[in-house]
Structures are given as C-alpha cells and as structure tokens.
Amino acid sequence: MKILANDGISDLGKSLLEAAGHEVSTNKVAQEALASAINEQGFDAVLVRSATTVRKEVIDACPGLRLIGRGGVGMDNIDVAYAREKGLTVINTPASSSQSVAELVMGQLFSISRFLYDSFKNMSTGDFSTLKKNYAKGVELRGKTIGIIGFGRIGQSLATYALGAGMKVIAIERKARIQPIALKIGGQTIEIPVKVVADLSEVIDQLDYISIHVPKQADGGAVIGATEFQRMKKGVRLVNAARGGVIDEQALLEALNNGTVAAAALDVYENEPNPLKELINHPNIACTPHIGAATLEAQDRIGEELADLIIAFAKEA
C-alpha cells in the first residue's frame, strides 16, 4: 500500500510499515491540496492527527482511497460514518495516548493549585515579598474531590494518578456503576472502587476539581455551560484536555471573573489553532497548545498501533 501520513508518524511506525512492504510518505500536504495529492500520487491510505480533516468532499474526490487512519482517540475531523458507507476502512488508536493525556492533566492539576502557570512569568521582577504574597493561597490535592466527566481509557488512567495523590474520585458517565480501578504501587496491584454516576447535577456541587474527557458532542453543544457553572462549588478548578467546545468558553470566562472557578487549564479550544485571546491571556488560565498525546512514548505507541492495524488490513484485503 502507498500511505500518506499527512500529520506525521513516529519513526517506529514508519519502519514497521516499510518492513512490511508498504510505502510511507510524511511530506505534509496542505488541506486544500489533499484530494489532488491523494489522486495524483496514488495513495491508498491517508493517516491524520488533529491538523488534517478528511471530510465528505475529500472522500468523494478520491475513489482510490481505501483506508483512513487517525493517530489518536477522537475522530471528529473525519466523516467516519460517510467513509464507511462508501466502503472505506476507518481506524484509530484509542489505547495509545491515554497515559500521556492523563499525565498532562495531572500536571495541570498541580499547576493550577500552586500557581505554577503564572509564577514563573513574574520571577524576573525579583520582588519576592510581593510574589510570595500573591502565590501564598495555593491548595493541596490530597483529600480533595475530583469529578472526571467521561470514564473511558483516559478518564480511568487519570483516576489512577488522582487516587495515588490521595484524591477522592467521582466519575460521571451515562451508566451508573461501581468501577474497580487497578492501582499499581510497589509491584503490587490494588483495586479501588470508584463511584460512577449518570447525572453530573447529582455531584457537581461536591467537586473541588473537574476534568473532562468526552468527545465532541453530536449536536455541537457544551457539556459544561452557564447552568453547570452556577451549580459548582465556589473556587472549583477545571481542566479540559478533551475537545474544544465541550466547555462553553464564554461561560468559563464569566465563571473565572466572578470567582466561581479559581483557575482552569486548557489544552484544547473551540477555534484551533487561533484560540480566543481572552482565554490565553487570562491570568487564571493555564494554556497548552493541544499537546495531550504529544509524548515520545505515546507517539511510538500510536505509530506501532497504526502500523499493526494497517498491516492486518492489507493482509485481509
């Protein structure tokens, strides 16, 4: 197969594919030229991350395309149902980036609890007296309650870190249950039961921290908006490393400005790659540029998983 990895692929993934006899190009093609490049260069498969979209127009324009791959979890940048209806195979790598996203979230929880996102910017003033006063109201994670909205692979991975830090975990997902979480400590595995509730409103006023891990909603609406902010405990801290739009950004700004939300950390935005200036400049928002899965280890796992799936597809074809 001839494969265009338009948003890149790890060296490991590329080498595995090439060892299996496939040709892999990592030359970036502009979005508007994607269909032409696929047709003119005879690509059988296109692999994307979050930068490139594969919509109906591209699918219709590329009759020779057989497979679309997404390196990561969410596939909202691909018209999946339409592609499958047209006979294309669509794959993704849901297991590969869970740990890296969970670790970024955990780092942000520490950051927004101890003003790490802001203090480094002001150290050059040398005014330790003022700085110590400004950052003297940090809080500890241990003993606090975190609500994890969406309890799939990433949410459950985050739970292991939060439990390890001594936090109480409540998960919110469609099906209420008790979910055992395996916590590995010192060569031993301990199962800890986590309560999963089906209705966020049942627990929202109990939460000191909230981390959201759901896909972009089918109707494009927010999971957390003005109504949810009104029900939150004053001083809550919030992290979104899922998808832009699952939190209403204007409602978030209002909640930050009126003190409902003490601080927020965002890795994703409604208008990527040009997020709202009010968000990235707000003194109580810690921002990262959609790097949840961007670790060396995760890239290797993603590349390897994509390669395995493509090799299996080619053998069955």
β pairing state of 2-5 and 209-212: unpaired
Q: What is the pLDDT of residue 302?
A: 95
State the span(s) of the chain assigned CATH 3.40.50.720.
Answer: 2-94+296-316, 98-287
Instruction: Tell me, yes or no, if 22 is annotated catalytic.
Output: no
Q: Note whether 159 and 183 are within 8 A (CB).
A: no
pLDDT by residue for the chain (317 residues), tens only, comes to: 999 999 999 999 999 999 999 999 999 999 999 999 999 999 999 999 988 999 999 999 999 999 999 998 888 899 999 999 999 999 999 889 999 999 999 999 999 999 999 898 888 888 888 889 989 999 999 999 999 999 999 999 999 999 999 999 999 999 999 999 999 888 899 999 999 999 999 999 999 999 999 988 878 789 999 999 999 999 999 999 999 999 999 999 999 999 999 999 999 999 988 999 999 999 999 999 999 999 999 999 999 999 999 999 999 87
What CATH number has the domain spanning 2-94+296-316? 3.40.50.720
This prediction has a pTM of 0.89
From the list 22, 237, 290, 301, the catalytic residue is: 290
Instruction: Tell me, yes or no, if 290 is annotated catalytic.
Output: yes
- The Cα 254–Cα 183 span in angstroms is 37
Summarised one tens digit per residue, pLDDT across range 263-311 is 999 999 999 889 999 999 999 999 999 999 999 999 999 999 999 999 9
Among candidate residues 47, 159, 103, 150, the one with its CA nearest the CA of residue 294: 103
Which CATH superfamily does the domain covering 98-287 fall into? NAD(P)-binding Rossmann-like Domain (3.40.50.720)
Q: What is the pLDDT of residue 275?
A: 95
From the list 57, 85, 140, 272, the catalytic residue is: 272
- The Cα 96–Cα 71 span in angstroms is 9
From the list 213, 243, 282, 301, the catalytic residue is: 243
Instruction: Tally Cβ neighbours within 10 Å of residue 281.
Output: 9
Q: Where are the alpha helices (DSSP H) in 62-97?
A: 80-85
Q: What is the pLDDT of residue 206?
A: 98
Q: Identity (one letter) of the amino acid at 16?
A: L
Q: What is the pLDDT of residue 48?
A: 97
Q: Is 2 exposed, middle or buried (0-12, 13-18, 19+ CB in 10 A)?
A: middle
- The Cα 266–Cα 232 span in angstroms is 18
Summarised one tens digit per residue, pLDDT across range 208-242 is 999 999 988 878 789 999 999 999 999 999 999 99
Q: Note whether 78 and 90 are within 8 A (CB).
A: yes
Among candidate residues 273, 216, 254, the one with its CA nearest the CA of residue 264: 254
Among candidate residues 235, 232, 178, the one with its CA nearest the CA of residue 205: 232
